[in-house]
Amino acid sequence: MDKYITQHLPLSPEKPGPVIASKKPFKAELVCGKRHSWCTCGHREKQPFCDGTHKAKLCGCKYTANPPYCDSTHKQEFIQSALLKGNTNF
C-alpha cells in the first residue's frame, strides 16, 4: 500500500487531481435499490465504480516522516508511553 500511495497520491500542498480513467462515458447497468459508489479518484482498475483503492492510513501520532500518511512511527516507545490529549475517539 505504501508504494501505491507514493506513486499515485503525491504529497503536495495543492489538492491532486483525479486520474483520467476514460475519455468517453461508461455504460453501466444500475440495479434499483442497490447502492452504487462512483469512483472520483480514477485509481480503480475497473471503472466507473469505487472499490476503496484510494484509501490510506493517515498518521495519528503526528511524528510520521511521510505526512499525512502513517509510517508506523506510532509503534515507538516514546509514542506508546505518551499521554493522549484532545479527541481520543478515533
Sorted by sequence, the CB contacts under 8 Å of residue 35 that are 6+ apart come out as none
Mean pLDDT of the chain: 81
pTM of this structure: 0.43
Q: What does each C-alpha distance from 45 to 7, 16, 36, 37 come to in angstroms?
A: 15, 19, 16, 14
CA distance 35 to 87: 32
Tens of pLDDT, residue by residue over 14-43, are 556 788 888 999 898 999 999 999 988 888
**Identity of the amino acid at 89:** N
pLDDT at site 24: 93
pLDDT at site 9: 55
Q: What does each C-alpha distance from 62 to 4, 30, 75 come to in angstroms?
A: 21, 42, 12
